[in-house]
Structure 1
Amino acid sequence: MMSMSASLDEAYLRLHGTGPEFGGDQQGDHGLANHGPMAAEVLIRHGYGDQVSTWLDRYVARLIDMPPAREPITAQNLRDSLGGGRSRLGDWTEYFTRQMTERPWQDVLARWWPILLPGITAGATHGAIRVGHAVRSLIGGAGELAESELAHGLAFWAARSRPTPGATAPSGDLSPEQALAGIPLLADQSGLLAHRLARLADLPAWPAAQAALRAPADADDVPALLEELVRAATLRYLHHAHGSPILLVHTATAPNAVRHTLPALPKEMWVPSLAAVWSAAAAIVSAYAPDHTVPQAELPEAPRADDPVADLLERAVANGDEHVIKFTDTAVQVYRSSGDPDALAAAVRARELIEPEV
């Protein structure tokens, strides 16, 4: 059986010729994120490395080739190139791949994290999530191909950089559970994510609702607060997922990705990281959460198997949907830290609502 690192390398080799998104309109906008590297990392981490190749056989068929590089990213044009869209994906990938050969990956990450952080809603937060999965693998001892994967994640984030309208840092005293419950919902939840997010600027209660979250006392308080946010978003998903089963997954997986990245970042970046991902998660709640919950009697329960985590993971792998796989990974982490069976039930709910692509 291949080691975790070797299995990841094989997956990255297959995926790095593909672009970080696919589909979309004629301009290449509003496409879907390539979840291949993230899902592969989760599968391998949980002991399903022998199934990654078969999973990728199905998944890669949906992807498109990496767009070619057109205009080099330089010190003179890099700020103007942020958010340049699909036409700049190849340029940014070439740039970050070169950066990884010139300095340690930790230095590249530390330099670019604060630059990219304001645009964390890039690709519905998938830029930050892909970076988080790559960093988690690198911290775990993965090699050069994981550094290349980090370059691809940073490139996607840079090309699709999108600020959260009216982003406001926490300065209140509410718990993440309370603060999420207080996020005002957009009256018009129609259209694509970009259209919905644009409406946040006109939502009067939006800045105050973000500010209501408890502010961290200092940088050392951030990991625990992020863990609370991931737990609250995961448990909230159980009752609210019907609003948008796929988009609402990211209210938990995005802060979880940031949480996994913190150990590789200088501490002075931790508090801004919490603020940015909190605003992004809150924005998705405002744009997609329903105004009513599903009665408890109609919701699933956690698996009743002797090993509910193993049962849950097995069923997520059998389902095969990339969002189900990633959200199950987060739900399992929440369950292991909190012992709350509703975290596992939330993953069952995702599996019920999200149909895998054939």
Structure 2
Amino acid sequence: MAMTRDYQQPAVNIAPHPRASAALRPLIADVGRRSGEFPDFLANHVPMVLEAMGRLGASPERLREYGDHYNSVHAVPFPPPAGAPLSEDSWRSAIGQRSRETDLRDFFGDVVSRIGGDAAIRRYLPTLFPGVAASATHGLMRLAYACLRNDENEIGIALGYWAATYLAFPAVPGTGPSTTDPLSLVLEMPAEPSFRNITVSSTLLWKWIENMGTLPAFQALLGRLEPSDALLPQVRSASLVLYAATMSFEALHAVTGAHWLRLVGPHLDNPGELVARWWEVVLSLYTKLDMPALPDAETVDGWRALAVPPDAEIAAAAIASNDEHDHSLVFSAFEEFKLTGDPLYRVVAARRVGLID
């Protein structure tokens, strides 16, 4: 399967609602006061998907309606009470503690107010790279949307959320050869018996990820993928094909995650290191899909040739949905299409919202 191809890069034909922009920032600031998760340990998507919906063309009325609906249906709480203030010397002691979400948000909010969001990400995020599975990678999502919007308040909140829900694989060296090819690790996995018939006593995505980190055969894969500037385009292409082949919840997060990495990358000195750690999370979820074979190039080209509805129709279907993953996938797919020109992004977007088979 070819990893990358060259396409023309036409625009996405969507007209944002003329009144949405002015409504979004205060609305996101309001909903952003709530916790990064709701019971039991599920990611609160609403600060991010409101931005996606706004850019897809949602009206201010629909944005407010969806925010109210989401917080009502999911009973999204406010963060836990503050404990003890954190300092430059002590903040690391609170990593991975959901009960310290407020303390971590306050710490990073103060950092951002002093040195700015870009400098805060550049200085502190490398410490959090290994824990990119935080809240099933939604810490990365929240930070990416904060970067997209250049929202200093949300950058502080996102860093605190990532730190509080930090989830890392064991710090063990992989036992195989290093590689620059992310697909080579995927192709190794189906032959490993311990990756079959895995049982996890939770439906939470991050619990599956956490469990994978306990398997010796999976630990042997860790640290083998070499960071580089070429890595993100490779994992972007592979993630899209995996999603097109499966249309699965897990692979959806690989497509959107590649977009989020692109948004955060300019704020990092070594973005390839984060991409490499994130790809290990994708590998852990590949087992949840029962490790399907990847389609050949001819099959993928056939999907690319499918007729799809106009962009505005796809966007409207996403906006009308109350499923946060519809907004997230369609927006990321359109943004990645604008970057790459790969028509497969339009195909998966139309499929996700039920406009084509």
Q: Give distance in 2, aligned partners of 1:194 and 1:313.
A: 29
Offset of residue 159 of structure 1? 0.5
1:1-358 aligned at under 5 Å gives the runs 1-2=18-19, 4=21, 6-24=22-40, 31-50=41-60, 51-61=62-72, 62=74, 63-85=76-98, 87-138=99-150, 146-165=151-170, 171-174=178-181, 176-177=182-183, 179-184=185-190, 185-192=195-202, 193-201=205-213, 203-207=215-219, 209=221, 215=226, 222=229, 224-241=230-247, 245-265=248-268, 267=269, 269-286=270-287, 288-292=288-292, 304=307, 307=310, 309-352=311-354
What code does the residue aligned with 1:101 have?
S
Q: Give distance in 1, aligned partners of 2:196 and 2:93.
A: 31
**Structure 2 spans left out of the alignment, 5+ residues:** 1-17
Q: Give distance in 1, aligned partners of 2:231 and 2:254.
A: 14
What code does the residue aligned with 1:64 have?
P
Offset of residue 344 of structure 1? 2.6
| 340-349 vs 311-320, greater mean Cα deviation | 340-349
Offset of residue 324 of structure 1? 1.4
Q: Give distance in 1, aligned partners of 2:189 and 2:256.
A: 18
Q: Give distance in 2, aligned partners of 1:156 and 1:69.
A: 14
Q: 1:303·1:345 contact (CA, 8 Å) conserved in 2?
A: yes
Q: Give distance in 2, aligned partners of 1:294 and 1:118.
A: 27
Q: 1:235·1:346 contact (CA, 8 Å) conserved in 2?
A: no
The count of residues paired between Structure 1 and Structure 2 equals 323
Supply the RMSD in Å over aligned alpha carbons. 3.1
Going from structure 1 to structure 2, the CA distance change for 1:271 and 1:187 (only over 3 Å counts) comes to same
Which SS does the other structure have where 2:169 is aligned? coil
Q: Which digits, 9 at most, give the CA deviation of each residue in 1:287-306, with x for residues without a partner?
A: x213447998xx99887356
Q: Give distance in 1, aligned partners of 2:347 and 2:172.
A: 31
Q: Give distance in 2, aligned partners of 1:80 and 1:23.
A: 24
What code does the residue aligned with 1:284 have?
L
Q: 1:100·1:108 contact (CA, 8 Å) conserved in 2?
A: yes
What code does the residue aligned with 1:232 have?
A
Q: 2:133·2:209 contact (CA, 8 Å) conserved in 1?
A: no
What code does the residue aligned with 1:55 have?
Y
Going from structure 1 to structure 2, the CA distance change for 1:159 and 1:173 (only over 3 Å counts) comes to closer
Relative contact order, CA 8 A, sep 6+: which one is greater? 2
**Structure 1 spans left out of the alignment, 5+ residues:** 25-30, 139-145, 353-358
What code does the residue aligned with 2:157 have?
H
Going from structure 1 to structure 2, the CA distance change for 1:108 and 1:46 (only over 3 Å counts) comes to same
Offset of residue 49 of structure 1? 4.7
Q: Give distance in 1, aligned partners of 2:95 and 2:34.
A: 21
Q: Which digits, 9 at most, give the CA deviation of each residue in 1:144-175, with x for residues without a partner?
A: xx21111111111010111024676893143x
Identity of aligned residues (%): 25
Q: What is residue 10 of structure 2 aligned with on the other side?
A: none
Q: Give distance in 1, aligned partners of 2:280 and 2:57.
A: 34
Q: Give distance in 2, aligned partners of 1:195 and 1:306.
A: 37
TM-score using structure 2 length? 0.79
Going from structure 1 to structure 2, the CA distance change for 1:234 and 1:294 (only over 3 Å counts) comes to closer
Going from structure 1 to structure 2, the CA distance change for 1:294 and 1:260 (only over 3 Å counts) comes to closer
Q: 2:231·2:276 contact (CA, 8 Å) conserved in 1?
A: no
What code does the residue aligned with 1:289 have?
L
TM-score using structure 1 length? 0.79
Q: Give distance in 2, aligned partners of 1:326 and 1:188.
A: 28
Q: 1:96·1:155 contact (CA, 8 Å) conserved in 2?
A: yes
